[in-house]
Protein backbone atom coordinates (compact mmCIF):
# COMPACT_ATOMS: atom_id res chain seq x y z
CA UNK A 1 0.00 0.00 0.00
CA UNK A 2 1.28 3.47 -0.86
CA UNK A 3 1.63 5.86 2.08
CA UNK A 4 -0.45 9.03 2.01
CA UNK A 5 1.55 12.26 1.73
CA UNK A 6 1.75 14.37 4.90
CA UNK A 7 -0.06 17.27 3.21
CA UNK A 8 -2.98 15.18 1.84
CA UNK A 9 -6.33 13.87 3.05
CA UNK A 10 -8.40 11.13 1.45
CA UNK A 11 -11.78 12.55 0.42
CA UNK A 12 -14.54 9.92 0.31
CA UNK A 13 -17.38 10.43 -2.16
CA UNK A 14 -20.91 9.07 -1.82
CA UNK A 15 -20.16 6.39 -4.44
CA UNK A 16 -17.41 4.95 -2.18
CA UNK A 17 -14.49 6.28 -4.21
CA UNK A 18 -11.65 8.02 -2.35
CA UNK A 19 -9.34 10.67 -3.80
CA UNK A 20 -6.24 12.13 -2.12
CA UNK A 21 -6.19 15.95 -2.10
CA UNK A 22 -3.94 18.61 -0.62
CA UNK A 23 -5.28 21.82 0.91
CA UNK A 24 -4.41 23.71 -2.27
CA UNK A 25 -6.13 21.15 -4.53
CA UNK A 26 -9.37 21.26 -2.54
CA UNK A 27 -9.25 25.08 -2.42
CA UNK A 28 -8.99 25.24 -6.22
CA UNK A 29 -11.97 22.85 -6.56
CA UNK A 30 -14.15 24.87 -4.17
CA UNK A 31 -13.22 28.23 -5.67
CA UNK A 32 -14.00 26.87 -9.13
CA UNK A 33 -17.43 25.56 -8.10
CA UNK A 34 -18.42 28.81 -6.32
CA UNK A 35 -16.95 31.18 -8.89
CA UNK A 36 -18.46 34.66 -8.70
CA UNK A 37 -20.44 34.11 -5.48
CA UNK A 38 -17.69 34.59 -2.87
CA UNK A 39 -14.22 36.10 -2.67
CA UNK A 40 -11.80 33.37 -3.85
CA UNK A 41 -9.12 34.40 -1.35
CA UNK A 42 -11.49 34.02 1.60
CA UNK A 43 -12.58 30.62 0.28
CA UNK A 44 -8.97 29.46 -0.07
CA UNK A 45 -8.12 30.45 3.50
CA UNK A 46 -11.33 28.97 4.92
CA UNK A 47 -10.79 25.68 3.05
CA UNK A 48 -7.17 25.55 4.22
CA UNK A 49 -8.33 26.09 7.82
CA UNK A 50 -10.88 23.28 7.59
CA UNK A 51 -8.28 21.04 5.97
CA UNK A 52 -5.85 21.80 8.83
CA UNK A 53 -8.59 21.07 11.37
CA UNK A 54 -9.24 17.57 10.01
CA UNK A 55 -5.60 16.71 9.26
CA UNK A 56 -3.76 18.16 12.27
CA UNK A 57 -6.23 18.74 15.08
CA UNK A 58 -8.39 15.64 14.57
CA UNK A 59 -5.47 13.61 13.13
CA UNK A 60 -7.67 12.12 10.45
CA UNK A 61 -6.51 10.72 7.14
CA UNK A 62 -9.99 10.29 5.62
CA UNK A 63 -12.93 12.69 5.49
CA UNK A 64 -16.18 12.57 3.56
CA UNK A 65 -17.04 15.35 1.17
CA UNK A 66 -20.16 16.02 3.25
CA UNK A 67 -18.18 16.43 6.48
CA UNK A 68 -15.74 18.80 4.82
CA UNK A 69 -18.51 20.83 3.18
CA UNK A 70 -20.42 21.08 6.48
CA UNK A 71 -17.33 22.25 8.37
CA UNK A 72 -16.53 24.78 5.64
CA UNK A 73 -20.10 26.08 5.82
CA UNK A 74 -19.71 26.68 9.58
CA UNK A 75 -16.41 28.51 9.10
CA UNK A 76 -17.85 30.77 6.40
CA UNK A 77 -20.92 31.45 8.52
CA UNK A 78 -18.59 32.45 11.35
CA UNK A 79 -17.02 34.97 8.99
CA UNK A 80 -20.44 36.46 8.28
CA UNK A 81 -20.85 34.82 4.86
CA UNK A 82 -23.75 32.64 3.85
CA UNK A 83 -23.15 29.54 1.79
CA UNK A 84 -24.99 26.27 2.07
CA UNK A 85 -23.12 22.99 1.97
CA UNK A 86 -25.72 22.10 -0.65
CA UNK A 87 -23.90 24.36 -3.08
CA UNK A 88 -20.81 22.21 -2.63
CA UNK A 89 -22.61 18.88 -2.39
CA UNK A 90 -26.01 18.71 -4.11
CA UNK A 91 -29.01 18.81 -1.76
CA UNK A 92 -31.79 16.52 -2.85
CA UNK A 93 -34.79 18.45 -1.53
CA UNK A 94 -35.53 21.53 0.52
CA UNK A 95 -38.87 20.40 2.07
CA UNK A 96 -39.87 16.79 2.68
CA UNK A 97 -43.43 15.93 3.72
CA UNK A 98 -44.90 12.95 5.51
CA UNK A 99 -48.57 12.17 5.98
CA UNK A 100 -49.07 11.22 9.62
CA UNK A 101 -52.55 9.92 8.84
CA UNK A 102 -51.07 7.38 6.42
CA UNK A 103 -48.57 6.20 9.04
CA UNK A 104 -51.40 5.83 11.56
CA UNK A 105 -53.51 3.83 9.07
CA UNK A 106 -50.54 1.53 8.39
CA UNK A 107 -50.30 0.90 12.15
CA UNK A 108 -54.08 0.63 12.63
CA UNK A 109 -54.15 -2.86 14.12
CA UNK A 110 -51.51 -2.20 16.74
CA UNK A 111 -52.19 1.51 17.23
CA UNK A 112 -49.37 3.16 19.20
CA UNK A 113 -47.24 0.03 19.54
CA UNK A 114 -45.92 0.20 15.96
CA UNK A 115 -46.76 3.80 15.15
CA UNK A 116 -43.98 5.46 17.16
CA UNK A 117 -41.13 3.22 15.89
CA UNK A 118 -42.46 3.68 12.34
CA UNK A 119 -42.51 7.44 12.89
CA UNK A 120 -38.89 7.41 14.06
CA UNK A 121 -37.83 5.33 11.04
CA UNK A 122 -39.59 7.79 8.73
CA UNK A 123 -37.83 10.74 10.38
CA UNK A 124 -34.42 9.06 10.03
CA UNK A 125 -35.06 8.21 6.40
CA UNK A 126 -35.98 11.82 5.66
CA UNK A 127 -32.94 13.21 7.48
CA UNK A 128 -30.64 11.18 5.21
CA UNK A 129 -31.82 13.40 2.34
CA UNK A 130 -30.56 16.54 4.16
CA UNK A 131 -33.71 18.64 3.84
CA UNK A 132 -34.11 22.19 5.11
CA UNK A 133 -37.61 21.45 6.46
CA UNK A 134 -39.26 18.25 7.68
CA UNK A 135 -43.02 18.66 7.44
CA UNK A 136 -45.38 16.20 9.11
CA UNK A 137 -48.97 16.93 8.13
CA UNK A 138 -52.31 15.41 9.15
CA UNK A 139 -51.68 15.45 12.90
CA UNK A 140 -55.33 15.81 13.89
CA UNK A 141 -56.53 12.86 11.80
CA UNK A 142 -53.57 10.77 12.93
CA UNK A 143 -54.30 11.42 16.59
CA UNK A 144 -57.99 10.57 16.23
CA UNK A 145 -57.01 7.33 14.46
CA UNK A 146 -54.53 6.38 17.20
CA UNK A 147 -56.96 7.31 19.99
CA UNK A 148 -59.83 5.48 18.28
CA UNK A 149 -61.98 8.61 18.59
CA UNK A 150 -64.58 10.11 16.28
CA UNK A 151 -64.55 13.46 18.06
CA UNK A 152 -61.74 15.43 19.61
CA UNK A 153 -61.34 14.65 23.32
CA UNK A 154 -58.94 15.10 26.23
CA UNK A 155 -57.35 11.77 25.25
CA UNK A 156 -56.77 13.17 21.73
CA UNK A 157 -55.20 16.30 23.20
CA UNK A 158 -52.81 14.19 25.26
CA UNK A 159 -51.96 11.96 22.29
CA UNK A 160 -51.28 15.04 20.13
CA UNK A 161 -48.78 16.32 22.69
CA UNK A 162 -47.12 12.89 22.81
CA UNK A 163 -46.68 12.76 19.02
CA UNK A 164 -45.21 16.27 18.83
CA UNK A 165 -42.87 15.69 21.79
CA UNK A 166 -41.79 12.35 20.32
CA UNK A 167 -40.91 13.99 16.99
CA UNK A 168 -38.95 16.73 18.77
CA UNK A 169 -37.08 14.18 20.86
CA UNK A 170 -36.26 12.02 17.87
CA UNK A 171 -34.99 15.00 15.89
CA UNK A 172 -32.71 16.23 18.67
CA UNK A 173 -31.33 12.70 19.20
CA UNK A 174 -30.32 12.26 15.55
CA UNK A 175 -26.73 13.14 14.59
CA UNK A 176 -27.83 14.01 11.01
CA UNK A 177 -30.25 16.74 12.07
CA UNK A 178 -27.93 19.60 10.97
CA UNK A 179 -30.06 22.75 10.77
CA UNK A 180 -33.32 21.17 9.84
CA UNK A 181 -36.64 22.76 10.81
CA UNK A 182 -39.51 20.59 12.03
CA UNK A 183 -43.11 21.49 11.15
CA UNK A 184 -45.99 19.43 12.54
CA UNK A 185 -49.51 20.36 11.46
Q: Per-residue pLDDT tens for 69-87?
A: 888 888 887 777 766 554 4
Range of the domain at 40: 8-88
For the chain, percent of residues with pLDDT exceeding 90: 17
Is residue 2 assigned to a domain? Answer: no
Tell me what the mean pLDDT of segment 11-25 comes to: 75
pLDDT (mean) for 5-27: 74
Return d(Cα 171, Cα 181) in angstroms, integer: 9
Taking the complete model, does pTM exceed 0.75, yes or no? no
Give the C-alpha separation, 156 to 107, whole Å. Answer: 17
pLDDT for 163 equals 92
The answer to whether residues 100 and 19 belong to one domain is no
Shared domain for 28 and 54, answered yes or no, is: yes
Q: Which residue, 73, 88, 103, sits at the end of a domain?
A: 88
DSSP SS3 for 181 = strand
**One domain for residues 133 and 161:** yes
Q: Is-contact 139 163, C-beta < 8 A?
A: yes
Does position 100 have pLDDT exceeding 80, yes or no? yes
* CB-based contact 83:34 (threshold 8 Å): yes
Question: Which of the listed ranges 49-53, 80-84, 181-185 does the model predict with the highest average pLDDT?
Answer: 49-53
My answer on whether 104 and 157 are in the same domain is yes
The pLDDT value given to residue 130: 77
Q: Which of 15, 9, 120 is nearest to 71 (CA)?
A: 9
Q: Is residue 3 part of a domain?
A: no
Same domain, 62 and 143: no
* 107 and 84 in a common domain: no
Task: Determine the pLDDT at residue 72.
Answer: 83
Q: How many domains does the chain have?
A: 2
pLDDT tens readout for residues 117-142 = 999 999 988 888 877 788 898 999 99
30 has pLDDT over 70: no
pLDDT band at 110 (very low <50, low <70, confident <90, very high): low
Q: Are residues 118 and 151 in the same domain?
A: yes
Indicate whether 51 and 112 sit together in one domain. Answer: no
**Does the pLDDT value for residue 49 go beyond 60?**
yes
Q: How far apart are CA 16 and CA 158, in angstroms?
A: 46
- 87-91, 104-108, 158-162 — which is least confidently predicted? 87-91
Domain final residue, candidates 24, 55, 88:
88
* Whether residue 126 is found in the same domain as residue 147: yes
pLDDT at 178 (0 to 100): 59
Arithmetic mean of pLDDT over the chain: 78
Q: What is the pLDDT of residue 28?
A: 54
| 76 and 108 share one domain | no
Same structural domain, 78 and 102: no
DSSP 108-175: TTTTHHHHHHHHHHHHHHHHTT--SEEEEE-HHHHHHHHHT-SS--HHHHHHHHHHHHHHHHHHHH-T
Kindly state whether residues 75 and 12 are assigned to the same domain. Answer: yes
Angle at Cα 99 formed by Cα 95 and Cα 100, nearest 5°?
A: 120
Amino acid sequence: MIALSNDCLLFKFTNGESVPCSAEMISVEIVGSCEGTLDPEILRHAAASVFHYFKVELERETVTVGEFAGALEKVLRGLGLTIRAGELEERSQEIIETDLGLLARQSADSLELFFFPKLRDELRQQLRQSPRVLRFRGLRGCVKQLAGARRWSARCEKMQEQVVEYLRGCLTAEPEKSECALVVE
